[in-house]
Structure 1
Amino acid sequence: MTAKTFVLGGHQTDFSRNWAREEKSLFDMFKETLEGGLSSTGLEPQQIQAAHVGNFTSEIFCNQGHLGGFFTATDWGFDGMPAQRHEAACASGSMAMLSAMAEIEAGRYDLIAVLGIEMMRNVPGDQAAKFIGGPAMWADRECLDVKYPWPHIFSELADEYDQRYGLKFEHLAQISKNNFDNATRNPNAQSRKWTFTEESFQENDEANPRISGRIRRSDCGQVTDGGAIVFLASERAAREYAKKHGKSLNNIARIDGWGHRTSHISYKDKVEASRGKPYVIPNVRRAIEDAFSRANVSIDDLSGIETHDCFSTNEYMAIDHFGISAPGESWKAIENGDIAMGGRIPVNPSGGLIGLGHPVGATGVRMMLDCAKQVTGTAGDYQVEGANKFGILNIGGSCTTAASFVVSA
């Protein structure tokens, strides 16, 4: 990385809210996210030099595109500010961040807003499954007669692990237990007030219904409404901000490394290409390795991780792809408690997509915000003690797009 990028702070909405039931629109969510970010950082609209929006399907769910115009619709102080939108399925927010970082590294701008947003609870569940199914996979070739496309695909990922290395349901269930438990400490988590029994995490068709194949209700990330924003800054802007707000530059989060890899849109083609290789999804491993290399760190240097757990199987994959365990041995890190709060390297202290929620376009931005909180000691009840470096993995589709970051302070 040729220039440092800092995270001045940001804001996320309460992911438990159903905005349609509140008779509020996508713009209302955007406005509240943006104003919350400005308030929490003490920034003014005129200070923001550019903006990037991460969003996946606002045209389908809300009949609304052209989201960059919402900045000036929120406050005329943004009038004339360049803004653009980015899409890469569930990694849309990370694409917005990467583009903002590139502009800072190039010296175009010193202070950029990155806002991720998605409204998905304004339609029935079956319809939402269709809206987020086909567009992120090969629409006319994959899952043509499948009711729930993504549970089906990530059940196939479980099958692949089972075929190559062996896989037990109890290990996937423990991932979900961890994330739901972590979510109880997060005041913005969608599931923070939900109640569970032991049967909720067992192969029990009444308490934990099967959704598709190996995937049961407990394995699933949530359909969520929500927005998140972070403000990225050059070193010069970060120093000015720190001085103005009585902070040290060392107390502001910094992005030390990034990785971005894209592979075949088809799940089966990606997996077939990985036959005989140690990692089931090689482009995910390569994105993580790129981030580690740019940050000059190894897995042992990280205090924790925020990873993409749209399903428990995806977090299972992330464990060995991060190098927490050897390939195919993610179960060891689960059984040893390595990934639980208080463990060697806590994964998803926020609750992740399973516990906190998954507003698709906002997820990558929310991950960055949570990691910035962790390394600056401001994560509240879900703070990892002594955290100074955090890793991120945000994926799109069937791991077609993989984005990884290392954040420190």
Structure 2
Amino acid sequence: MPDPVYILGGAQTDFARNWHREGLGIDAMMAESLMEGLEATSLEARDIQSVHVTNFTAELFCNQGQLGGMVASLHPDLSGVPTSRHEAACASGSMGILAAGAEIEAGRYDLVCVLGVEYMRNVPGRRAAEYLGAAAWAGREWTDAQYVWPAAFADLITAYSEKYGYVNYHHLGEIARINYANGKRNRFAQTRNWQFSDQSFTEDDEANPVIEGRVRRNDCGQVTDGAAVIFLASEARAHDYAKTRGLKLSDLARIDGWGHRTAPMLLSEKLQESRNSRFVLPQVHQAIRECFDRAGIADAYQLDAIETHDCFAMTEYAAIDCFGITEPGEAWKAVEEGVIAADGRLPVNPSGGLIGLGHPVGATGVRMMLDGYRQVTGRADECQVADARRVGLLNIGGSTTTIASFVVGRGE
């Protein structure tokens, strides 16, 4: 087995900020998160041996590529440091984490930075939706939809209903309500000051209008500006880091397991694959199971919390049975029984998730890992799950095309 990969910490920007309105560009967002991450971990730029930048659509929103090169301009000590950029739509951040972890496991480097970033609030909402639609197969999927991704996950609601019976909107609305409520406790959350009525999570067309199909406004993750950074280290480097700061390895976090799969691009192909499976999304379930096997845990209830992809409420609904929180098709039980609530048996998205906290696409996987680190090290502030020792993560890109799962635990 390769040596374990440790998480020394990191930082994120305030996801409520609109950087375009502030007159600041994507470079400023990258610089702020990096410098705050270095300060939070008491590291120096010269300590970084490799950088992985994760981003989906800077070319479209910012007319800017070559983000790895931009890193070398953020601090004089980063000039010459090897960098690379990763794109896998909403799972871009996790691809950078997997690559950085592989470098550490291979013995190439001892301390690697993963910096995720997305700058999206500089264009009108309709254009933002068009740009984000680049993760679907152009010209072949949802060509008649005004909003590609709400249409895609509306189709997933239909697929679940056809396989297991009608998906009750009450359960989707409750997932969204929980995540917005969790976001109110998160000082970084885009929606922390938003207000809702009693009708905001119902099928009320005025308080919660339809976007596409059965997807309504408050089911949707946010269009967000944001960046997040984490620093990963080998066991030897983590040991030295802890020793010089008067810490123990158990004061740090560690990546205990990972899973990574790529499903066919078209949602129709995915659903065709699932015809003879117990799951509508068998590749998602398999990525999670492979992660659990690597982490040496039997099931989801050996976790203390989960940060999962909730680009829409339906995405989280599907994740519930893929994680094995319930049997396939019975995710509604976990909602009705309060299992996934902040004070439930297995809290899901205590950070607020993509719906409550925000979804800067290329940074989301990095942010999830940062929140996993915060939970198991007791640094999650008002979002803290009591005595959290293991946190599961699920990050997807496209219509569950790219799938990444992690288990984050305490160091030993």
Bin of the TM-score, shorter chain as denominator length: over 0.9
Deviation per residue, 1:192-248 (Å, 9 max, x gap):
000001111111111111000000011000000000000000000100110111111
Partner of 1:313: 314
Deviation per residue, 1:299-346 (Å, 9 max, x gap):
121001000000000000000000000000000000000000111100
Query: TM-score, normalising length from structure 2?
Result: 0.98
Does structure 2 retain, via aligned residues, the 8 Å contact 1:119–1:225?
A: yes
Cα offset for 1:75? Answer: 0.5
CA distance in 2, matches of 1:129, 1:114: 26
Kindly provide the amino acid, as one letter, of the partner of residue 349 in structure 1: P
CA distance in 1, matches of 2:84, 2:374: 26
Partner of 2:405: 404
CA distance in 1, matches of 2:44, 2:72: 13
Question: 1:263-302 counterparts in 2 under 5 A?
Answer: 263-297=263-297, 298-302=299-303
CA distance in 1, matches of 2:45, 2:88: 27
Q: Which moved more, 1:64-73 or 1:353-362?
A: 64-73
2:106 aligned with 1:120: no
Partner SS, residue 29 of structure 2? helix
Cα offset for 1:70? Answer: 2.0
Partner of 1:159: 158
CA distance in 2, matches of 1:340, 1:276: 32
Compute the RMSD of aligned alpha carbons: 0.7
Deviation per residue, 1:97-146 (Å, 9 max, x gap):
0000000000000000000000000000000000001x201112111121
Does structure 2 retain, via aligned residues, the 8 Å contact 1:31–1:70?
A: no
CA distance in 1, matches of 2:64, 2:393: 29
Cα offset for 1:2? Answer: 1.3
Partner of 1:363: 364
Does structure 2 retain, via aligned residues, the 8 Å contact 1:279–1:327?
A: yes
Partner of 1:243: 243
Identity value in percent: 56
CA distance in 2, matches of 1:296, 1:202: 40
Partner SS, residue 408 of structure 1? strand
Partner of 1:373: 374
CA distance in 1, matches of 2:56, 2:71: 18
CA distance in 1, matches of 2:304, 2:372: 10
Partner of 2:352: 351
Does structure 2 retain, via aligned residues, the 8 Å contact 1:31–1:74?
A: yes
Aligned residue-pair number? 408
**Structure 1 residue runs of 4+, over 4 Å off?**
none
2:127 aligned with 1:141: no
Partner of 2:42: 42
Query: TM-score, normalising length from structure 1?
Result: 0.99
Partner of 1:129: 129
- Structure 1 gaps of 5+ residues are none
Partner of 1:384: 385
CA distance in 2, matches of 1:247, 1:279: 44
CA distance in 1, matches of 2:378, 2:43: 21
Partner SS, residue 293 of structure 1? helix
Partner of 1:208: 208
CA distance in 2, matches of 1:299, 1:307: 12
Kindly provide the amino acid, as one letter, of the partner of residue 145 in structure 1: D
Cα offset for 1:72? Answer: 2.0
Kindly provide the amino acid, as one letter, of the partner of residue 315 in structure 1: E
CA distance in 2, matches of 1:345, 1:25: 39
CA distance in 2, matches of 1:378, 1:33: 17
Partner of 2:182: 182
Deviation per residue, 1:355-400 (Å, 9 max, x gap):
0000000000000000100001110001000100000000000000
Does structure 2 retain, via aligned residues, the 8 Å contact 1:255–1:408?
A: yes
Partner of 1:55: 55
